[in-house]
């Protein structure tokens, strides 16, 4: 039986694809974690921005090195970079034996078998794959899982390549999503992280209306699920109905990831965004009014073409005024084939990096203040493990999503259950993390 390893790069949506590939491979082949032990090495790539492409290239080259010690090893490149650059990969990376696009990974097991007699296989079709029937092996901790509710994107922001790679927005059927969530709950999952390129657009293509609130209410009825977390909610579609649903359903975390990208109206228009500064402020104020303890995560782009010093300063002040609980900043990446790539006023890489750092320093001040405000409070923490370096347990509150947010480090008189919840009294903090002791310690 051939041994197969899979490396997953990029976002959580890509991770779900990798988990489905693992499900398809399992049984026909032996899954191994170490690439050195594998006969077939698969890397599921990302091509969202330049840094992601470079990470993908570096990973491919590192795996190619493994082939030098064993000429019989095979290397398969899948995912967004494969879909976008299949010809370039096969032409410039002769170590790659097969390239498989985002709509064809359901054929991965047959492709592995086909490598016995063929190299330079390229399967990157445009027909959309039906993924609901595919098996899946989750790689996240057993208590947490990503639940992808749609594929593709219709927003067509001028800087983004996702629609050209992943295609139009396609919602999954409610019954299929709920069925998958029920199986996860039966397997011990306690936290569902709801994802799509734009979760708020869910349902329009299938049902003629935005039905995310209806879907969330169905997910809330599943026994065993304790936290439901929302990512990638576009501000123009954060409706009163959605806000009321989050406010009224105890299982839905008072946490919302709302990518806004900028606050200046001129830049937002150039970005092809469907909102403006006043609307963004209105949505955030409404959320905070109806859900007083709501945690808002957002993402911004620094150094968009034509961004002036004044517009940058406006964005920095916006960060300080709005006091986002969680914030990430990306330096603008000029992606070929996008409308933004043809705009005048392109900034050099150092300027973009400097602006990214300027905005993150502003957020550092905000985050430190918000963390200090938690001292003296008791937080419910989902325990994830023990850190032998600091000699403390650690986990996340409702305010912290997987990998992208901070952690709570705490002591405990008795070892807490990994994947269970602990009440932790916060007694210290730094810029992003909290520290405390579990009740009874």
Domains and CATH numbers, the chain: 3-123 (3.40.50.12160), 144-368 (3.80.30.20), 378-438 (2.40.50.140)
Q: Are 376 and 426 in contact (CB under 8 A)?
A: yes
At 92-142, the pLDDT tens digits run 888 899 999 888 888 899 889 888 766 667 776 767 767 778 899 999 999
* Residue 263: per-residue pLDDT: 97
* Residue 36: per-residue pLDDT: 86
State the Cα–Cα distance between residues 274 and 163, nearest whole angstrom. 16
Judged by DSSP in three states, 250 sits in: coil
Q: DSSP characters for 306-365?
A: T--HHHHHHHHHHHHHHT-SEEEEEE----TTSGGGG-S-PPPHHHHHHHHHHHHHHHHH
Q: Are 45 and 10 in contact (CB under 8 A)?
A: yes
Beta bridge partners of 420: none
At 44-69, the pLDDT tens digits run 999 888 888 899 999 999 998 888 88
* Residue 118: per-residue pLDDT: 66
Mean pLDDT of 362-380: 95
> What are φ and ψ of residue 217, in 5° steps?
-65, -35
Is pLDDT at 83 greater than 60 in this prediction? yes
Residue with tokens 């705009």: 343
Lowest mean pLDDT among 1-15, 103-117, 167-181, 358-372: 103-117
Which tokens is 226 given?
Answer: 């304790």
Pairing of strands 74-79, 98-100: parallel
- Number of Cβ within 10 Å of residue 202's Cβ equals 26
Is pLDDT at 441 greater than 60 in this prediction? no
Kindly state the helix (H) or strand (E) to which residue 284 belongs, with its residue range: helix 277-290
CA angle 329, 334, 340 (to 5 degrees): 100
440: confidence class by pLDDT, cuts 50, 70, 90: low
Residue with tokens 């049902």: 207
State the Cα–Cα distance between residues 47 and 14, nearest whole angstrom. 11
User: What's the distance, CA 422 to chain centroid?
Assistant: 26
At 147-158, the pLDDT tens digits run 999 999 999 899
Mean pLDDT of 77-95: 89
Residue 384 CB contacts under 8 Å (≥ 6 apart), including other chains? 141, 394, 395, 396, 407, 418, 419
* Residue 123: per-residue pLDDT: 76
Judged by DSSP in three states, 2 sits in: coil
Which tokens is 362 given?
Answer: 């502003």
344: confidence class by pLDDT, cuts 50, 70, 90: very high
Mean pLDDT of 28-41: 91
Q: Are 28 and 85 in contact (CB under 8 A)?
A: no
């Amino acid at each position: 039986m051939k041994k197969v390893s899979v490396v997953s790069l990029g976002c959580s949506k890509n991770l779900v694809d990798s988990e489905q590939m693992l499900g398809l491979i399992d049984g026909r082949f032996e899954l191994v974690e170490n690439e050195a032990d594998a006969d077939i090495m698969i890397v599921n790539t990302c091509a969202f921005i330049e840094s992601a492409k470079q990470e993908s290239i570096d990973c491919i080259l590192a795996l190619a090195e493994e082939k030098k010690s064993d000429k019989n090893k095979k290397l398969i490149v899948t995912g967004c970079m494969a879909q976008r650059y299949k010809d370039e990969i096969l032409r410039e990376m002769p170590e790659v034996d097969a390239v498989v696009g985002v709509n064809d990974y359901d054929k991965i097991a047959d492709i592995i078998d086909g490598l016995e007699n063929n190299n330079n296989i390229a399967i990157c079709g445009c027909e959309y794959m039906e993924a609901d029937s595919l098996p899946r092996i989750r790689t996240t901790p057993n208590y947490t899982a990503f639940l992808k509710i749609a594929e593709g994107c219709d927003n067509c922001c001028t800087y983004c390549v996702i629609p050209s790679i992943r295609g139009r927005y396609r919602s999954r059927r409610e019954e299929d999503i709920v069925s998958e969530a029920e199986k996860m709950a039966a397997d011990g999952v306690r936290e569902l992280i709801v994802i799509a390129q734009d979760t708020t657009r869910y349902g329009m293509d299938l049902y003629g209306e935005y039905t995310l609130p209806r879907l969330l209410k169905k997910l809330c009825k599943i026994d065993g699920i304790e936290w439901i977390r929302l990512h990638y909610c576009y501000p123009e579609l954060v409706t009163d109905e959605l806000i009321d649903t989050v406010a009224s359903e105890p299982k839905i975390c008072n946490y919302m990831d709302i990518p806004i990208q900028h606050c200046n109206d001129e830049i937002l228009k150039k970005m092809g965004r469907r909102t403006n500064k006043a609307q963004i402020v209105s949505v955030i104020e409404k959320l905070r009014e109806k859900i007083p303890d709501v945690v808002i995560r957002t993402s911004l782009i620094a150094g968009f073409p034509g961004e002036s010093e004044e517009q940058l300063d406006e964005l920095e002040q916006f960060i300080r005024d709005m006091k986002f609980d969680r914030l990430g900043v990306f330096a603008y990446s000029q992606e070929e084939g996008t409308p933004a790539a043809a705009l005048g006023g392109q900034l050099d890489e150092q300027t973009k990096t400097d602006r990214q750092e300027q905005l993150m320093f502003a957020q550092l001040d905000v985050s430190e203040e918000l963390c200090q405000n938690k001292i003296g409070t008791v937080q419910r923490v989902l325990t994830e493990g023990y850190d032998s370096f600091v000699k403390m347990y650690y986990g996340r509150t409702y305010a912290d999503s997987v990998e992208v947010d901070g952690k709570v480090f705490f002591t405990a008189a008795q070892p807490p259950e990994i994947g269970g919840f602990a009440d932790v009294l916060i007694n210290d903090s730094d810029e992003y993390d909290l520290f405390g002791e579990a009740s009874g310690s």
